[in-house]
Amino acid sequence: MFSERKILLVVNPISGDLDKEDVFEAVINRAKDDDYDLRIYTTTGVDDEEIIKTMVEHIMPERIIVAGGDGTISMVAQAVYGLEVILCIIPAGSANGLAVDFGIPSNLQEAVRIAFGENSIGIDAVSINGDISLHLSDIGLNALLVKNYESGEMRGKIGYAREMVRTLSEHQNFQVKITTDQEVIETDALIVIIANAQKYGTGISINPVGNMSDGLFELVIATKLDFIETAKIITGNTDLNPDIMKIISVESALIECVDREVYFQIDGEYKGLVRKLEAQILKNYVQVAIP
């Protein structure tokens, strides 16, 4: 039985622009006001998942507050899989897609209020080659952008904008074969998105039919940059030109890059070059605090 009076704060010190000292102060003060026993872990990039798993099994907190980006949140979710714990999000990454999808504001005090609140929802995850994606993963254009951003010197939205220019000049399309229980698709692709959620951290909707609790994920397949088709998705219109943009809802998929290795990212974390991805829905994977 998990104690309702214990809480763990996990902070990624190098994510985004949010001052982590402000996060520590806000959470410590709220934990004191609500009479919680608060423990804190700061990620180092070395064995974080195993350390967090061990801490949770020892402390048995009622909830874990994560101050970081989508990659940190997914890592913590993987560490606590199967345990009765509520995951709480403090948007502190460069692109906070999960927070945007859940309507968690960037205002620190409001985010802390939600983290200590009573509302939560069970959400699915997608297993991709054994790693966990809660939000949006992809191969192609955006994964190259994530790679360039991680190696760049500037953080925040300005850093993303700067690296987008470089990424567009470097990217090349690739040949992909996608096998699902519904169909086999072979096409030239700009990007293939494995989407559990709807929106990127910018607030732009890329998967208007997405629902993180429906037992399905979407494959969003784009063959080229096209203003009209992109505008349709952003406005929620799914009457797409299948030669340019396609969205299918599935429980599993095999994605094979036919002609070469392609850049791959999971929830904002660059994972390297891949030739094959196996994706499978994991239903009701974790409980998340929401407004």
Give the model's pLDDT for residue 3: 46
Give the model's pLDDT for residue 206: 85
Q: Which of 167, 143, 86, 88 is nearest to 266 (CA)?
A: 143
Q: Which residues of the chain have pLDDT under 50?
A: 1-3
Containing domain of residue 159, as a range? 131-283
Q: At how many degrees (to 10) do helices 20-33 and 108-115 cross? A: 40
Is position 216 within any domain?
A: yes
Give the model's pLDDT for residue 46: 92
Give the model's pLDDT for residue 70: 86
Q: Which of 100, 114, 92 is nearest to 30 (CA)?
A: 114
- Select from 120, 151, 166 the last residue of a domain: 120
Give the model's pLDDT for residue 69: 86
Q: What is the b/e burial string over 173-191, where b = at least 16 CB atoms within 10 angstroms of the residue's CB?
A: bbebebebeeeebebebbb
Do 184 and 58 lie in a common domain? no
Residue with tokens 């989407």: 195
Do 101 and 12 lie in a common domain? yes
Residue 222's DSSP bridge partners are 191, 245
Do 143 and 114 lie in a common domain? no
Give the model's pLDDT for residue 1: 42
Query: What pTM does this model have?
Result: 0.84
Do 90 and 138 lie in a common domain? no
Q: Which of 149, 172, 150 is nearest to 162 (CA)?
A: 149
Is position 290 within any domain?
A: no
Q: What's the start-to-end Cα distance of the chain, in Å?
A: 25
Is position 68 within any domain?
A: yes
User: What's the CA gap between 247 and 206, in Å, rounded?
Assistant: 10
Do 115 and 142 lie in a common domain? no
Please provide the DSSP assignment of the chain as one string: ---TTEEEEEE-TTSSSS-HHHHHHHHHHHHHHTT-EEEEEE--SSSHHHHHHHHHHHH--SEEEEEE-HHHHHHHHHHTTTS--EEEEEE-SSS-HHHHHHT--S-HHHHHHHHTSS-EEEEEEEEETTEEESSEEEEEHHHHHHHHHHHSS--HHHHHHHHHHHHHHH---EEEEEE-SS-EEEEEESEEEEESSSB-TTS-BS-TT--TTSS-EEEEEESS--HHHHHHHHTT-----TTTEEEEEESEEEEEESSS-EEEEETTEEEEEESEEEEEEEEEEEEEE--
> Please, which residues have CB within 8 angstroms of residue 72's CB and are 6 or more apart in sequence?
10, 12, 15, 43, 66, 93
Task: Count structural domains, the chain.
Answer: 2
Give the model's pLDDT for residue 170: 74
Give the model's pLDDT for residue 230: 62
Is position 146 within any domain?
A: yes
Do 261 and 142 lie in a common domain? yes
The CATH number covering residue 29 comes to 3.40.50.10330
Give the model's pLDDT for residue 197: 92
Give the model's pLDDT for residue 92: 85
The CATH number covering residue 210 comes to 2.60.200.40
